[in-house]
């Protein structure tokens, strides 16, 4: 669908360019251009003046867009470099934090899940007796 849209856009654009070129070349009147800072004058057909104006404007806009894209790309390269440096700094820190959190998690698991008492201990206890405490901080 996208290719069809581009094809239609290309056909319409080519048609409009052909109409503009035929319109411009059909005007054969001569125009005298006075080049302001200089004491020169230039006499040329009007179609040449119009077409050269469009071409010069297009080339200038291409140069400006290229410069803007280059500035954006340079900013992207700069930010990518900063990101890579920060990521390199964060990798050792993340590994230290992960080791620390793993140690804490292992400590919590060990405190919460104390080993089961022996069968002998269970025979001595009844359902009315005090439950086995694994956390010694809540006395």
Q: Is the pLDDT of residue 3 over 60?
A: yes
What tens digit of pLDDT does each residue of 26-56 get?
878 899 989 888 888 999 988 888 889 989 9
pTM of the entire structure?
Answer: 0.47
Q: What is the pLDDT of residues 76-100, one digit of tens each?
A: 999 999 999 998 888 887 777 777 7
Extents of the domains making up the chain: 22-108
User: Strand, coil or helix: what is 30?
Assistant: strand
**What are the distances in angstroms from CA 129 to CA 11, 15, 121, 136?**
91, 96, 12, 18
Confidence (pLDDT) at 93 = 79
């Amino acid at each position: 669908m996208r290719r069809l849209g581009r094809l239609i856009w290309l056909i319409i654009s080519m048609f409009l360019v052909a109409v503009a070129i035929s319109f411009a070349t059909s005007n054969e009147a001569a125009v005298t251009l006075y080049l302001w800072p200089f004491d020169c004058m230039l006499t040329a057909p009007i179609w040449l003046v119009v077409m050269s104006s469009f071409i010069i404007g297009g080339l200038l806009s291409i140069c400006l867009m290229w410069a803007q894209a280059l500035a954006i790309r340079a900013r992207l390269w700069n930010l990518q470099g900063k990101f890579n440096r920060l990521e390199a700094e964060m990798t050792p820190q993340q590994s230290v934090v992960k080791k620390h959190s793993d140690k804490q998690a292992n400590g919590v698991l060990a405190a919460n899940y104390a080993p089961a008492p022996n069968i002998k201990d269970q025979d001595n206890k009844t359902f009315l007796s005090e439950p086995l405490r694994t956390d010694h901080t809540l006395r």
